[in-house]
Amino acid sequence: MESDERTRDLVARAILESGPATAVDLATRLAITPTGIRRHLDALVADGILISREEHQSSVHARGRGRPAKVFVMTDHGRESFNHSYDDLAVAALKFMHSRGGDVVAEFAAKRASDLDLSRELSDKDSLNEKVVKLSELLSVEGYAASIVEKENGVEICQHHCPIAHVAAEFPALCEAETESISQALGTHVQRLATIAHGDGVCTTFVPTRVSTKVGVQG
C-alpha cells in the first residue's frame, strides 16, 4: 500500500539521518506502534535496505538483564536508494582522467570541494563552536545528513549519508579534498576518522577543541 511505502521511507530516512536505532527508539521518534514499527522494519530488512544486529554491549548493560535489543543499520543498498549523485558514467569518466596521468583526478576533487564552498555561511567573527554548528547544518543542506557529537577533547562531525560514496571508494582523493575543505572552512586542523566510502557506517571528522557545542549536538 502507498501509505506503507511512505512510512517505510520515513523509517529508513530516520536511520539514514540519525544512525543505527532500535525498534523502540524508532517507534517513539516516529509515533508508530511497536507492532507497526516491527512490521515495517521486517519489510525493510527483507528488501535489503536495513540489516539488524545486536546492540553494543555497553548499551545492553545499561538496559539491564534480558535479551540484547537489536539495532537496525542502513545497508549500502539502502543508501543507494536515496538518490546518490553518482553513477557508472562518473566512475568511468574519473577512470579515464586517471589513465591520462598527472594529477587530473586530484585537481577535479579539489575543484569539487571548492564548489561546495563549505565556508559560505561562516564568518571570521564566529567562534569555532559556531563554525562547527553552521558547517554541520550546511553539510546537511548539501545532502550529507550531518550531526555533531561532543567528545572529551573535541567534537566529531558525523555525516550519515555520502552522495558520492561509491565513486569515492575508488578515488580516495575525493574524501581527502573534502576533509581539507572542512579544515579550511573551520580554520583549524581536523582528522578524518572514518568514511562511508571505505566501508564505515558514518563519515566521521574529528575537530580538536574543548569548546562546548550544546546547540545541535547529539550525545
pLDDT digits (tens, 9 = 90+) for 75-107: 878 877 765 544 566 788 888 888 887 688 889
CATH number for the domain that contains residue 111: 3.30.1380
Domain that holds residue 11: 2-80
Task: Indicate whether 19 and 74 sit together in one domain.
Answer: yes
Q: What is the pLDDT of residue 131?
A: 95
**Residue 217 falls inside a structural domain:** no
- Mean pLDDT on 137-153: 89
- Mean pLDDT on 112-138: 92
Residues paired with residue 18 on neighbouring β-strands, in sequence order: none
What is the helix (H) or strand (E) element at residue 207, kind and residue range?
strand 203-208
If one counts the domains in the chain, the total is: 2
Q: What is the pLDDT of residue 62?
A: 46
Task: Indicate whether 74 and 164 sit together in one domain.
Answer: no
Q: Cα(172)–Cα(203) distance, rounded to whole angstroms?
A: 13
Task: Indicate whether 23 and 46 sit together in one domain.
Answer: yes
CATH number for the domain that contains residue 51: 1.10.10.10
Is the Cβ–Cβ distance between 194 and 215 less than 8 Å?
no
* pLDDT band (50, 70, 90) for residue 122: very high
Alpha-carbon torsion (183, 146, 141, 161), positive or negative:
positive
Place of cell 539491564: 64
- What's the Rg (C-alpha) of the chain? 19
Residues paired with residue 148 on neighbouring β-strands, in sequence order: 157, 217
Is the Cβ–Cβ distance between 54 and 68 less than 8 Å?
yes
Task: Indicate whether 97 and 170 sit together in one domain.
Answer: yes
- Mean pLDDT on 187-211: 89
Q: Cα(126)–Cα(159) distance, rounded to whole angstroms?
A: 22
Q: Cα(144)–Cα(142) distance, rounded to whole angstroms?
A: 6
Q: Counting Cβ atoms within 10 Å, is residue 37 exposed (0-12), middle (13-18) or buried (19+)?
A: buried
Q: Counting Cβ atoms within 10 Å, is residue 212 exposed (0-12), middle (13-18) or buried (19+)?
A: exposed
Task: Indicate whether 138 and 204 sit together in one domain.
Answer: yes
Task: Residue count of the chain, please give it.
Answer: 219
Q: Cα(176)–Cα(162) distance, rounded to whole angstroms?
A: 14
**Residue 215 falls inside a structural domain:** no
Q: Cα(215)–Cα(195) distance, rounded to whole angstroms?
A: 24
**Residue 127 falls inside a structural domain:** yes
